[in-house]
Chain A
Amino acid sequence: MIQLNNIHKSYNLKTNPLHVLKGINLSIEEGEMVAIMGASGSGKSTLLNILGMLDEADSGTYTLDDTPIVQLSETKAAQYRNKFLGFVFQSFNLISYKTALENVSLPLYYQKIPRKERLIKAKENLDKVGLGERIDHVPSELSGGEKQRVAIARALASEPKVLLADEPTGALDTKTSYDLMALIQEINEQGKTMVVITHEHDIANMCKRIVHLRDGVIVEDKKIKQVKAKDHVE
């Protein structure tokens, strides 16, 4: 599903260039659930941005679902993001003045899906994350966990190949985090490829594979025995 080959990325700061990614090689199969771990500054956010086509690598190749991601125009990148990827951010990034239903239907609007169909699909996805009853609430009326569920529903709405989650539980308490991870695991069980960026070990252990990043290189890449989040939810 995802092939990264010798990815390099540096940022030109005022004095000296900062080399953030120093040759990343990574291959992720369909249906995998991968945790990318690392301390802050290890380059994990940059890696996610490159995976998410929010940023471009200086060198190296990136193939997503057999499509080479290279030299994308803004428009092309937007279309690929819409088609291939779903994003879940630490700070939710919902549009504040739109209701849960409208937020979830927004990616479908950009896929030019007719309004009626859009709203039906959005409702289905909200049902899937257990928020079927709260579709008319704006983000400020939802709890943190609910907001993140809306974000997940939104990411799923466009039926992406891969779900990219950047510290999805970073702003949530432990119990809510585990609830959310249970949901993410469930979605993964249905076959969706997942990449979760986190620095928390318990969250990482709920994935099926952990990639450890330090100073811009992969120092460890191992398959693990997945901890079921459901078991920790009282």
Chain B
Amino acid sequence: MWNRDRWVEIFETLSKNKLRASLSGFTIAMGIFIFVTLYGFGNGLKNAFNQFFLDDATNTLWVYGGQTSKPYKGFKSRRNIEFDNEDLDQLATDFAYFIEGVTPRITRAGEVSYKTESNSYSVRAVGPVHQDIEKSLVYSGRYINQSDVKDYTKNAVIGRLVAKDLFKYEDPLGKHVIINDVAFKVVGVFSDEGGDNEERMVYIPYTTQQRLLGGSEEIDQIILTFRPEIGYAGALQLESNIMKFLKRKHSIDPEDPAGIFIRNVASDLKQNQDFASILQYIVTFVGLGTLIAGVIGISNIMVYVVRERTKELGIRKAIGATPKSIIGMILHESIFITTIAGYTGLFVGVGTLVLIGDNLEDFFIVDPQIHIGTAIFATILLIVFGAVAGYVPAKRAARIKPIIALRDE
């Protein structure tokens, strides 16, 4: 392998047979290039899917009240189901083993003003756990905490864009804003990767909102996060148990499809991940197909190369080349070409993916990348198969009798 003479011999041969060398090199480089870019696009598609779910926690159940569709235990149908704080507390205690946290959410429109600036935003009345569900990033101050809830404080956490709209360059922390005619103190500012709408929110303690709404204990929806360890099956089981529990508590027919609705983000995510995986399989399959086509390409070229060189190989044998040296020479040459070309294709492919970056986001391809291990594996695979493809005709050529080779005009 490290014999300098062999290398000199190979370089001489290659430099004098440029067309042949560049043709076979091109096939390899093309195969790897296509594999790398396709695979990267596949990953880009998957990234796009994952991004839809990135800004919120995925281990959550969202419980909504609805209208019953069946009469039950003396209640008529078409009864509105509403939750209250008691539901919240009971869920938290009864399912304590599976649940990480639970929070209500009461959403109302709010006219929010500071000094002369005023605008309307969504005001969400929530508990501390809500921060984890939305993955709100509090970069200044703090979020709604347990004592806010306990003490009915008039504290508010505002989104980045709310702060920008109302306060301009002023620091909002500690300032008072007027929300629907009631003064709240700004205790925190947050950002959210979910986009502009998420950053135009105002959060206040749910107990405060309930008191302002006339002292009711009603809540619009209950959001709870479960322990990720319980897994997908556990999440489905938990969903059905909570459904049973709430239906019993609110006297709803267990068979009633309406009344209570639960959205399970875990199962939504799973469906989408399944879809993305299938896409990835298809892309991998196409990529493998390309690789196989590349291997077949090299095999053909190697067969042709050996055929073309039959006479030369015969001459070499007549003047003393051993079969081993003939095989060695051809293999060495083919491995050299495939390695150089393979890694060229690899770098060009990876370079293309880097250049594309997020330019194709509109086509649902986000940050297309190929794991460098996968790419190198594919390249080595092609080199190995290139060598195998070269070995068979080389072996045959080495066994051919010099007289027959020499007769081959």
Query: In the complex, what distance in Å separates the CA atom of A102 from the CA atom of B401?
Result: 23
**In the bound complex, do residue B16 and residue A97 qualify as a contact, i.e. CB atoms below 8 Å apart?**
yes
Give the contacts of A118-143 with B (CB-CB under 8 A): none
Contacts of B409 in A (CB 8 A): 91
B398 within 8 A of A: yes
Q: A95-B312, A102-B12 are in contact. Are A54 and B320 (CB under 8 A)?
A: no
Contacts of B406 in A (CB 8 A): 89, 91, 93
9-residue interface stretch from A25-33, A34-42, A71-79, A172-180: A71-79
Q: A78-B323, A110-B320, A158-B320 are in contact. Are A95 and B315 (CB under 8 A)?
A: yes
Contacts of B403 in A (CB 8 A): 49, 54-55
B300 within 8 A of A: no
A145-182 interface bits toward B, Cβ cutoff 8 Å, 1 = contact, 0 = none: 00000000011001000000000000000000000000
Nearest to B311 among chain A residues (CB) is: A93
Nearest to B316 among chain A residues (CB) is: A106
The 8 Å CB contact of B318, one of A87, A98, A109, A112, is A87
A216 within 8 A of B: no
Contacts of A106 in B (CB 8 A): 316, 319
* Residue tally, chain B, CB below 8 Å to A: 29
B13 within 8 A of A: yes
Contacts of B402 in A (CB 8 A): 54
Nearest to B309 among chain A residues (CB) is: A95
Query: In the complex, what distance in Å separates the CA atom of A83 from the CA atom of B403?
Result: 18
Query: In the complex, what distance in Å separates the CA atom of A111 from the CA atom of B316?
Result: 12
Q: A74-B398, A87-B319, A97-B16 are in contact. Are A109 and B9 (CB under 8 A)?
A: yes
Q: What's the least CB distance linking A145 to chain B, in Å?
A: 19
Contacts of B322 in A (CB 8 A): 74-75, 78-79, 110
A230 within 8 A of B: no
Q: What's the least CB distance linking A37 to chain B, in Å?
A: 20
Contacts of B316 in A (CB 8 A): 95, 106, 110
**In the bound complex, do residue B315 and residue A93 qualify as a contact, i.e. CB atoms below 8 Å apart?**
yes
Q: Tell me the interface secondary structure of chain B in the complex.
A: helix
Q: A89-B406, A93-B406, A102-B12 are in contact. Are A110 and B321 (CB under 8 A)?
A: yes
Q: What's the least CB distance linking B305 to chain A, in Å?
A: 13
**In the bound complex, do residue B401 and residue A81 qualify as a contact, i.e. CB atoms below 8 Å apart?**
no
Query: In the complex, what distance in Å separates the CA atom of A97 from the CA atom of B319?
Result: 17
Nearest to A91 among chain B residues (CB) is: B409
Contacts of A49 in B (CB 8 A): 403
A19 within 8 A of B: no
Query: In the complex, what distance in Å separates the CA atom of A49 from the CA atom of B404?
Result: 11
B229 within 8 A of A: no
Contacts of B401 in A (CB 8 A): 54-55
B115 within 8 A of A: no
Contacts of A97 in B (CB 8 A): 13, 16-17
**In the bound complex, do residue B318 and residue A111 qualify as a contact, i.e. CB atoms below 8 Å apart?**
no
Q: A97-B13, A102-B12 are in contact. Are A75 and B324 (CB under 8 A)?
A: yes
Contacts of B4 in A (CB 8 A): 115
**In the bound complex, do residue A98 and residue B320 qualify as a contact, i.e. CB atoms below 8 Å apart?**
no
Query: In the complex, what distance in Å separates the CA atom of A89 from the CA atom of B13?
Result: 23
* A49, A75, A78, A96 — most chain B CB neighbours (10 Å): A78
Contacts of A43 in B (CB 8 A): none
Query: In the complex, what distance in Å separates the CA atom of A91 from the CA atom of B399?
Result: 22
Query: In the complex, what distance in Å separates the CA atom of A165 from the CA atom of B5?
Result: 29
14 further A-B pairs in the complex, CB-CB below 8 A; given A55-B401, A93-B311: A74-B323, A75-B322, A78-B320, A79-B322, A82-B319, A83-B320, A87-B318, A95-B312, A96-B312, A98-B12, A98-B16, A110-B320, A115-B4, A155-B319
A–B Cβ pairs within 8 angstroms, 11 of them: A49-B403, A74-B399, A81-B318, A82-B319, A83-B320, A87-B318, A93-B406, A95-B316, A110-B316, A110-B322, A110-B325
